[in-house]
Structure 1
């Protein structure tokens, strides 16, 4: 029988064969990858909740995220991130990429954003403001701001929507399996940028507009300004010791 991880690889190989930056696979192919991931269990990739990878601490006692690479080529990558409790994968983007994330075990808080662009749906108070500040901060809309506990469905983000910028915070020790198509590639301009999110009213024009329009507080919380920051994220790579993938078939 074909193992679940082999089935995932074979599916991705077919789905992303003709892919590239900003090319979203057809809906039926997106569903094929999602279905393969929805059925994945920790044991299918050789993990369990008490895996040491989810309990790595630095000398300063800060938790360290472990990365296990299952596969990477110029079309797609399959990777697992193991997060100790309270660890964070900071807010970051996925330029030109379609990304599938499957929480294998544990509880994780996910907050994600999409850029606001001309013609986006929203209140006049939001669209009436400059969408890029002189500081470089850019207006974004919250897509997801919730906790997820495994087992749960695979989440999907796209190049321009679905929560392309997201942050993972481990409520408990957890592991997430990601499929990225295509993967990051600095020479091709797909580098991972990190951001800090600032409240919508951080800038005077936004605050004044919201005040004058009586924009409710809860509605303001649905928007933020994202400002790029230098990369400051510790991750340690480990070899994947789970089921092997036949890549020559």
Structure 2
């Protein structure tokens, strides 16, 4: 494993992220001291960095705000979470922009894989970080019955998102029973630091795709989290341009989406989170 360089230092303990073959993982190190005046060996335990106030505040607020499946946080709570996430920096979750992962490493054959780590998860919400190497893609997918807050911590990312169009609002017949009409909600590039984006169960771009322009790290707050057992499984989609049947003209702002099997680029590598640890006063 090659040392990644840029470290995030917390007191005498150092938390680093290391990058191997376009993958990311955390590692713990301690600083060694030479004591020539004593022959006794000094034994030290690795201690996790102190939890930043903003990360602990995020956890406590999520525990209060997310009420479980079938609920959507009110606007006041959405604004509260956004204000917390907008303050968050990479260092709050043990990351540094000086890491080799976030620097250009040359061309990679094929589409590089995405790596993710879970900071915390319970039945009501989850806190996850996704690491996208340059040109990596999280393909078009949905978030059934979920409210999702995305905070780009590092890098530049293109986000494209859709919402379903209500059948009663559709003037044209579907070209195929396998297709469903959707309205484009976002199709823009974002560079950290930037404002937190929010999507809701039926609005705000519930179906979205991430494409890394540069290596990226994005923090997602998802409530409630994915659960196959509870019917909140992830679906993937292929998009087709919306064509006016009478004029054969592409209509901007709309598209046809077809549900597909999970594409190969949807596969991710999971790593253990060893950044600052949340203090759980009570279970949620």
User: Structure 2 length normalisation: TM-score?
Assistant: 0.75
Report the count of equivalent residues: 228
Matches within 5 A, 1:130-149: 130=173, 133-134=176-177, 136-149=178-191
1:79 aligns with 2:112: no
Q: Distance in 2 between matches of 1:72 and 1:91?
A: 23
Runs of 4 or more above 3 Å deviation: 50-57, 59-62
Report which of the two structures shows the higher radius of gyration computed on alpha carbons. Answer: 2
Shift of 1:168: 0.1
Shift of 1:60: 5.7
Q: Are the equivalent residues in 1 in contact too, given 2:111–2:137 (CA < 8 A)? A: no
Does residue 231 of the first structure (1) align with residue 262 of the second (2)? yes
- In the TM superposition, residue 221 of structure 1 has moved relative to its aligned partner by 2.4
CA pair 115-46 structure 1, distance change in 2 beyond 3 A: same
Equivalent of 1:154 in 169, 182, 196? 196
> Paired residue for 2:163?
114
Name 2:245's counterpart in structure 1.
208
Does the aligned pair in 2 maintain the 1:19–1:25 contact within 8 Å?
Answer: no
Distance 1:237 1:129, change over 3 A: same
8 Å contact 2:111–2:135 — kept in the other structure? no
Greater Cα shift, 238-247 or 146-155:
238-247
Cα 1:137–1:33 shift into 2, 3 Å: same
Q: Residue 241 of structure 1 corresponds to which residue in structure 2?
A: 274
Higher relative contact order (CA 8 A, sep 6+): 1
Paired position in structure 2 for 1:123: none
Cα drift, residue 54 of structure 1:
5.7
Checking the alignment, whether the CA contact within 8 Å between 1:85 and 1:171 is kept in structure 2 is yes
Q: Point out the structure with the larger strand share.
A: 2
| Most deviating of 161-170 and 110-119 | 110-119
Hey, which of these two has a bigger chunk of helix by percent? 1
Gaps of 5+ in 1: 121-126, 202-206
